[in-house]
Amino acid sequence: MEALDLLQWPAMAITLLAAWLVASQRQGRRNLGFWVFLLSNALWIAWGLQAEAYALIVLQLGLA
């Protein structure tokens, strides 16, 4: 398994963390969740480039 193949696992975990943060009732956590989502977008794009998953890349750009 290539090193970038392993990137999908932290990307998934960070995406879940971001979803939890933006669902918070605390404004500070929601704001942090936005930035964490942007980080997860970047990680998914990095993984998508090496996997040639172009639809995933376009999706992440659209979500960002």
- Domain extent listing, the chain: 3-63
Predicted structure pTM score: 0.90
3-state SS, one letter per residue, for 1-64: CCHHHHHHHHHHHHHHHHHHHHCCCCHHHHHHHHHHHHHHHHHHHHHHHHHCCHHHHHHHHHHC
Q: Per residue of the chain (64 residues), what is the pLDDT tens digit?
A: 677 788 999 999 999 999 999 999 999 999 999 999 999 999 999 999 999 999 999 999 999 9
